Amino acid sequence: MCFVRLEGLYYHYRQRGQRAGGQQSQAVDLLDGVSLEVKRGEVVAILGRSGSGKSTLLNLIAGIDLPQRGRLTIGGENTLQMSEQARTLLRRRHIGFIYQSFNLIDTLTAAENIALVAELNDHHSELVDAKVDHWLEAVGLTAKAQHFPDQLSGGEQQRVAIARALVHRPALLLADEPTGNLDAATGGQILSQLQGMVRDHQTTLLVVTHSLAVAQTADRILTLEQGQLSERQGDFTW
Ligand SMILES: Nc1ncnc2c1ncn2[C@@H]1O[C@H](COP(=O)(O)OP(=O)(O)O)[C@@H](O)[C@H]1O
Ligand SMILES: [Mg+2]
């Protein structure tokens, strides 16, 4: 069954250029007709050069940003036609997002950052505590539960971000270079946890990565190039 479907997604942003005679703004076509079908439980890796629009694509799928054209359905629901509120609820309940730059909340501890999503979804605080403890342990941060983001290393912040994305067991996990700040050993460990969860809960995973090790664990590898997504052909070097 198709779980995520993108049809002809188009996204541009406007870039200001200064020319004699005044300011001009030019549209940059970042995504130019991106189509993709992902089945439930499938793992898809997305490769692409820096600046090719990978993070933007994940933002669109999560409904954080909107394309100017195209169709997007998640679990059969046309998310582009929903109200902003319905999109937020869908994201909160069913999507986990591991942001490239973590997006942790500075004023909350590691445990509180992880708890936030769980609390929004689930009002039983004992259940939330148990889930947070479970995920702190899973990412090896039990001892740093009460640390604030600025008291954690980049790799530790990334692990908090991963735990936060998984705590509500999302049906769809969007991961933007989730092992980018981790050493090989920790990255491997986190990767096998992600895989375990994907297997156990039929989680659909879209993972943007530069790591061939991560990409090789995927069912499919796609590349984003010049605004288009295509099946990976041959070897890439960059
Ligand atoms: N709304 C926007 N305004 C200005 N620049 C944007 C906007 N959205 C994306 N970009 C630019 O598009 C490029 C692609 O961004 P991104 O999706 O982060 O690529 P990637 O994740 O593949 O490196 C970047 O250079 C970024 O600055
Ligand atoms: Mg990016």
pLDDT per residue as tens digits for the range 33-58: 999 999 999 999 999 999 999 999 99
- Terminal-residue alpha carbon distance, the chain: 34
| 212, HSE (Cβ side, Cα atoms, 13 Å) | 6
Query: Which residues have a Cβ under 8 Å from the Cβ of 233 and sit 6 or more positions away?
Result: none
How far is CA 40 from its chain centroid? 16
pLDDT at 233 over 80: no
Distances (CA, A) of 194 to 92, 97, 101, 189: 19, 13, 18, 9
Give per-residue pLDDT as tens, 49-95.
999 999 999 999 999 999 999 999 999 999 999 999 999 999 999 99
Global pTM?
A: 0.92
- Cα gap 133→35, rounded to integer Å: 39
State pLDDT tens for residues 80-135.
999 999 999 999 999 999 998 899 999 999 999 999 988 888 767 888 999 999 99
| Residue reference for tokens 């999302």 | 170
The CA 50 to ligand 2 mean position distance, Å, reads 7
195 alpha carbon – ligand 1 mean position (Å): 28
Work out the average pLDDT over 25-36.
94
From the CB of 22, is ligand 1 less than 6 Å away? no
Residue from 9, 30, 208 to probe ligand 1 pocket by mutation (most atoms less than 8 Å from CB)? 30
Give the Å distance between the CA of 97 and the centre of ligand 2: 13
Structure-token pair, residue 230: 């295509």
CATH T-level fold of 41-70+84-231: Rossmann fold (3.40.50)
Nearest ligand to the C-alpha of residue 52? 1
Q: How far is the CA of 110 from the centre of ligand 2 (A)?
A: 23
pLDDT digits (tens, 9 = 90+) for 139-179: 999 999 999 999 999 889 999 999 999 999 999 999 999 98
The tens digit of pLDDT for each residue in 211-231 reads: 888 888 899 999 999 999 998
